[in-house]
Structure 1
Amino acid sequence: MDNVITQLKEIVDASERIVFFTGAGVSVASGIPDFRSAGGLYDAIEQKGASPEYLLSHDYLREDPVGFMEFCHQYLLFADKKPNPVHEWMAQLEAQGHSLGVITQNIDGLHSDAGSQKVDELHGTLNRFYCIQDSHTYTKSEVIDQYLLRCPESNGPIRPDIVLYGEMLNEQTIFSALNKLQKADTLIVLGSSLLVQPASGLISNFTGQNLVIINRDPTPFDRNAQLVIHDDMVSVIKQLQNHQ
């Protein structure tokens, strides 16, 4: 493992324009359930006899906005979850000028909570909610603390600023992510299987020098990477930071 950590350190130290691409594994390290893994959020919802895709859809929001928000409170909003050392390491590299920022599949907002400023949230974020009727905005903390189900200002439906089933990804976010990938000299993937769109399509646009993948399970891009680490990412990053 020491040799692998040495390789990782050499790549990071030699890079000037790192871009991070993160998936559910980074959130799991903060105690947030993975959506599709065995025993994850998807299974928990299905056991209650509901379709997770429907409960996370624009159709359900339109048909039962209060029921939709009750679902969010029960399954998506975690007041006690905080950034872990991986989030903090990425934010530090950005602050030091070594990183162009983060592209993430996650909606928990923990990258921003850790201090990252340049975050492309492909599926939106639970850190922002807004009223569909009058566009009044609310923070995640306000929604949790007040257990908001409707807008206190207009009594209109409220929703998180995430991409629901039946909705399109934000074009500006996609363009920003592509711009990062095209400028990057190093791409570090953390906690993503890279099996689903837009992950696999976006990663294909990286033409820089070093592709590093840190993920417990193999990905379709492992064969193209300069370094692949199938291990616990928190342990890997802590070893990296302590490596002399």
Structure 2
Amino acid sequence: MHLETAAKMIADASSVTILTGAGVSTASGIPDFRSTNGLWTADEAREYYISNHYFYKDPVDFWQKYKDIFRVKLLKDYGPNHVHRYLRDLEVNGKQITVITQNVDGLHTLAGNEHVIEYHGTLNSATCPNCGSSYDLPHLLTAETPVCEKCVHVLKPDVVLFGDPITEHDKAEQAIQQSELVLVLGTSLLVSPFNMLPEYANSLGKPSILINREPTVMDELFDIVIYDDLSKIVQQLQK
């Protein structure tokens, strides 16, 4: 019954804001960093190494650990899965879709969604902290420690590191304001301030749906909550 209600809510909404987490990308082979068995729980030191502080302290070792932890060399082997394509299909079929994603893999954009807010940045580029020049993924893979071709400073990845400010929160809230429905997919809602967005939607009285593999601490905020494999649920929603 929950699934049928969710399908009707999605069908009836002309504009949907979709919040996505690691559970959307796992079907593409990208590990879930924060689930119960995720990589972050295996080694809390990763948060130290993937930080603004450590980048400036030891940029050479930072890049070595960053590339290893995020499997940057494998990014080119990953592609959108049917969950990404489902969200693109909603847009193709005439809905106004905004995706606000915690994921840094760039797969929503690769799938073709036009309005993607990369809340935590992207693995696919880096910027020179000295002159502001931007570089794409192929350049980042040319050397162990990628540097700016113009001023030879070590590049800083465009991922939001621990200690970096979140710059997209206001834009995310604006998208929620303008939508008829909020759909949350594949996130544990443990990371702040991203997890303030469902609270914001609730404060505005926006209808909302959560689909996740396991319960979250914010389940009571949602009108519909479905615990199941996201890939399976999306296939059922498509029917």
- For the criterion TM > 0.5, the same-fold answer is yes
Aligned-pair CA distance for 1:129: 1.1
Question: Which blocks of at least 5 consecutive residues in structure 2 are unaligned?
Answer: none
Maintained 8 Å contact 2:125/2:140? no
Alignment of 1:121-200 (within 5 A): 121-144=118-141, 146-151=142-147, 153=149, 154-170=151-167, 173-200=168-195
* Aligned-partner Cα distance in 2 for 1:221–1:43: 20
2:199 equivalent in structure 1? 204
* Aligned-partner Cα distance in 2 for 1:141–1:236: 35
Letter in 2 for 1:5: L
Maintained 8 Å contact 1:123/1:169? yes
Alignment CA distance shift 1:64-1:120 (3 Å): same
Query: What is the DSSP-based 3-state SS (H/G/I as helix, E as strand, rest coil) of the residue aligned with 1:238?
Result: helix
Query: What is the DSSP-based 3-state SS (H/G/I as helix, E as strand, rest coil) of the residue aligned with 1:204?
Result: helix
Aligned-pair CA distance for 1:43: 4.5
* 1:58 partnered with 2:52: yes
Alignment of 1:1-244 (within 5 A): 3-45=1-43, 51-76=45-70, 77=72, 78-79=74-75, 80-144=77-141, 146-151=142-147, 153=149, 154-170=151-167, 173-206=168-201, 207-241=204-238, 243=239
* Aligned-partner Cα distance in 2 for 1:22–1:223: 18
* Aligned-partner Cα distance in 1 for 2:108–2:89: 11
Aligned-pair CA distance for 1:20: 0.2
Maintained 8 Å contact 1:87/1:111? yes
* Aligned-partner Cα distance in 2 for 1:225–1:167: 30
Over aligned residue pairs, what C-alpha RMSD do you find?
1.9
Question: Which blocks of at least 5 consecutive residues in structure 1 are unaligned?
Answer: none
Identity of aligned residues (%): 37
* Aligned-partner Cα distance in 1 for 2:181–2:40: 33
Query: What is the DSSP-based 3-state SS (H/G/I as helix, E as strand, rest coil) of the residue aligned with 1:54?
Result: helix
Maintained 8 Å contact 1:185/1:208? no
Query: What is the DSSP-based 3-state SS (H/G/I as helix, E as strand, rest coil) of the residue aligned with 2:99?
Result: strand
Query: What is the DSSP-based 3-state SS (H/G/I as helix, E as strand, rest coil) of the residue aligned with 1:11?
Result: helix
Alignment CA distance shift 1:140-1:44 (3 Å): farther
Deviations 1:3-31 (A, max 9, x none): 44332221111011111001121122222
Q: Scaled by the length of structure 1, what TM-score is found?
A: 0.87
Alignment CA distance shift 1:161-1:152 (3 Å): closer
Q: Scaled by the length of structure 2, what TM-score is found?
A: 0.89
Aligned-pair CA distance for 1:199: 2.6
Maintained 8 Å contact 2:181/2:206? yes
